[in-house]
Amino acid sequence: MARFNFKKSLLVAAIAVVLFVAVTGGAIADRIFGFKPLDLLFPRGFKVQQKVLTEESVVINVVKNVGPSVVTVSAQAPQRRVLQLNPFGGFSTSIQGGQPQDIGSGFILTSDGLIATNKHVVSDTTVSYKVVTSDGKTYDVKQINRDPSNDIAMLRIDAKGLKPVDLGDSDTLQVGQFVIAIGTALGQFRNTVTTGVVSGLGRGIQAGDEFQGYVEQLDNVIQTDAAINPGNSGGPLLNSAGEVIGINVAVAESAQNIGFAIPINIVKSAIDQFKTTGKFPSKAYIGVEYQMIPKQTALLNNVPQGAYVVNVVAGSPAEKAGLEIGDIIFKVDSKEITQDNGGLAKVISSKKPGDVITLDINRNGDNIKASVTLSEFAQ
């Protein structure tokens, strides 16, 4: 007959009571105070802190690796003497220009000095440009090639041993993805680092210069809340692996934390061709400034959707074909053009110099046709 062990039974009972109290008390504490017993060993802030430390290390590593590949673009206007009249009599002179001013950013594509930036950063042909690397060395820009349809430009400097960037794949981007921007913020603060996320994809923005006779629609651009300020233009937008997935191009006016970047896949082919041939792919050119008429506006004004011509460039294919200010181009080669399908810019970008296109035009309420022979856009 088994012998009853009072001490052993008492010990078992005590353990059972402790476990019951721990479990029950833990459940009550969790329900009332949100406290878990394991919090004593692994505080809840541990995971949050671990996440923050991971993000910090990602940014630090990307900046260390890519920072040396980001450059500042500066412009220097010719020095000139300006006459100033004194309202109290006499006059004086002052010297203007002659000093470099940081105006934008760029990034290194090859170790021997090929730099990518925005076309609008280096659009002024009356000034000279310089590139300042992250270590403070300054190089004269020897050659500029511009691709206005994509708002990119290639700068050539005489240098060796530079560190080129790695180009990523912008087609795999997702909304909410972490991104990093590096550039010369406000034209003053070189190699400024900002972080954010991809706020939107497939956005469309207007880019161009009315004084140079074109307005281009940049389609499918990246929207981000990473701070992009004037001076950041031309700098890289990077993923967490330190790959360039976009070229910072614009900041939305009258808005906060809304910036845009050209997806790198859009310009990869242009970059590759330039590396091989020293030229950008030929672009077709029609020579009109225009605004797309949205559907609601067209209905209210009893006009077709299309491209409303606000200016015709002198000597352009459009002028030679007889286009006029106020024309509404609503079809190209019998295909309707609307704001939703990319408009006139998308159609022209699919053509080649020398192609002959047929336009359906609404002029003062009458529909007419015009034949236009596209030319090559001069870089």
Residue positions annotated with a catalytic role: 120, 151, 233
Judged by phi (left if over 0) then psi (alpha if -120 to 50, else beta), residue 274 lies in alpha
Q: Are the C-beta atoms of 308 and 328 separated by less than 8 Å?
A: yes
Alpha carbon of residue 291 to chain centroid: 22
Alpha carbon of residue 366 to chain centroid: 41
Unique residue bearing structure tokens 């004004």 = 301
Q: Is 14 exposed, middle or buried (0-12, 13-18, 19+ CB in 10 A)?
A: exposed
Q: Which helix (H) or strand (E) holds 197?
A: strand 189-209
Paired tokens of 362: 């609404």
Task: Tally Cβ neighbours within 10 Å of residue 153.
Answer: 26
Paired tokens of 55: 């993000």
Paired tokens of 5: 């062990």
Q: Which residues pair with 222 in a beta bridge?
A: 261
Nearest to 246 by CA among 206, 283, 284, 196: 196
